[in-house]
Amino acid sequence: MIMLENIKDAVRKFLTGSTPYEKAVDEFIKDLQKSLISSDVNVKLVFSLTSKIRERLTKEKPPSILERKEWFISIVYDELSKLFGGDNEPSVNPTKIPYIIMLVGVQGSGKTTTAAKLAFFYKKKGYKVGLVAADTYRPAAYDQLAQLGSQIDVPVYGEPNNTNSIEIAQHGVSTFIKNKIDIIIVDTAGRHGYGEETKLLEEMKEIYEAIRPDEVILVIDASIGQKAYDLALRFHQASPIGAIIITKMDGTAKGGGALSAVAATGATIKFIGTGEKIDELEVFNPKRYVARILGMGDIETILDKVRGLEEYEKVQKKMEDLMTGKGKLTLKDVYDQLVALRKMGPLSKVLQHIPGLGVLLPTPTEEQLKLGEEKIKRWIAALNSMTYKELENPSIIDKSRMRRIAEGAGLEIDEVRELLEWYNNMNKLLKMVKRRRSDIEKLFGGKL
């Protein structure tokens, strides 16, 4: 994919280089700005992005579990994800059957090929799909779609001698509904160029009124870069049930500009076309996309630590609630805590940064740390081997259940027994803390 490739190199250089931190941050931000601007991302958006990154650096403190450089890259990841749509991950599953999708787009956007790619995508998911060739403006449009439909074994409805696209769309939809087709994709005429959005949207409304689709998708060529903003904005305002597909991401350096421009309108980017082959259409997930351009290997370790810390903090909040008498500790809570710990990295580093883990490892010598990491791994295996009922109500685990859990996890039965003893001791400890807290509250005549 021709886009922002050099950002991966900048991330690796930043994380592994010996340049002093402040200077390295300045250099990285300059490299990021150059890469985004060369990818046709709007200059205002670029400088807004980098100023937000700098603002967060001054206002926020890094989590104790992350090195400063890792924390900086996690901020870059967050802000870049927002630039390309943030948490706006689309749903691609049809909400009803039959489900009618209408594709619109200007001439040359790759709409007809995208119609076939979309049909192939849903066919692989097990749906019965039909294509309607309602593009009467381009002479070869029906032949092209018929050929593509034949390649993927999807029926194509068309009327080569009829010039009325609305009639063809109506006939095609009604035929496929009679034939019990699950998803009907209507390819409409792409007769207008960029800059003629008004005419395109007028035609879209006419066909929409005729066939009443469940979804309208605008197809945009990535090579138009930030010019996609005006078209996407007009479409987003005109079609409340609309989404967008950006095509030809593999063949242009302006893909970043198109993606950020569309995301800035608030419109949903549903798919991106990543190549010419029929299966080269992927669901667009902004966070996964940003992780890829930053370098999956480099960013994934950092994100795991951040996610692990977030999950651990949730577990700690549950533990605090338990100490005040709210709820009951279950093996599911223990599982969540152990999984969160593993995500945060080696136990030696985790212990340095998170107080209170001495309950698990009171004297963390190097040998004990190794044993502790192995024990966590084996306990997680045991917990994975338990049923939901066992995790929620450990008192039902008798000897025969212990034996089954041990066999399922590849452990000795004594290891399962040790885990359960540890769990019981934790419960006793919590009860003792609750009693002491209650006694102190009585002493002071109320809740603390």
Q: Give burial (CB, 10 Å; 0-12/13-18/19+) of 139.
A: exposed
Q: Is 250 annotated as a binding residue?
A: yes
Paired tokens of 96: 């009803």
275 carries a ligand binding annotation: no
Q: How far apart are CA 105 and CA 400, in angstroms?
A: 64
Question: Residues 171, 269, 305, CA angle at the centre, nearest 5°?
Answer: 145
Query: How, if at all, do strands 242-247 and 156-157 pair?
Result: unpaired
User: Is there a binding annotation on residue 187?
Assistant: yes
44 is in an annotated binding site: no
266 among the known binding-site residues?
Answer: no
107 assigned to a ligand binding site = yes
Distance CA 350, CA 339 (A): 13
Instruction: Answer yes or no: is 108 a known binding residue.
Output: yes
Start-to-end Cα distance in the chain: 59
51 sits in which H/E element: helix 43-59
Sheet holding 99-105, edge to edge: 156-157, 129-134, 183-188, 99-105, 215-221, 242-247, 269-273, 281-283
Contact 291, 77 (CB under 8 A): yes
Decide: 112 and 144 in contact? Cβ < 8 Å: yes
Give the DSSP per-residue string, 180-207: T-SEEEEEE-----TT-HHHHHHHHHHH
Answer yes or no: is 260 a known binding residue.
Answer: no
Tokens 């009639």, residue located: 167
153 is in an annotated binding site: no
Whether 189 has a binding-site annotation, put simply, is yes
CA atoms within 13 Å, Cβ hemisphere of 364: 17
Judge whether 199 is annotated as a binding position: no
Question: Is 172 annotated as a binding-site member?
Answer: no
Residues 409/402, Cβ–Cβ less than 8 Å: no
How is residue 191 written in tokens? 């007769």
* Residue 191 annotated in ligand binding: yes
> Is 134 assigned a ligand-binding role in the annotation?
no
- The pairing of strands 269-273 and 215-221 is unpaired
For residue 141, say whether it is annotated as part of any ligand binding site. no
Is 188 assigned a ligand-binding role in the annotation?
A: yes
Tokens of 287: 């966070």
Rounded distance between C-alpha atoms, residue 210 and residue 35, angstroms: 45
Length of the chain: 448
Strand 281-283, strand 269-273: pairing: antiparallel
Please indicate if the annotation marks 113 as binding a ligand: no
Please enumerate, by residue number, every residue annotated as part of a binding site for GTP.
Answer: 105-112, 187-191, 247-250
Please enumerate, by residue number, every residue annotated as part of a binding site.
Answer: 105-112, 187-191, 247-250
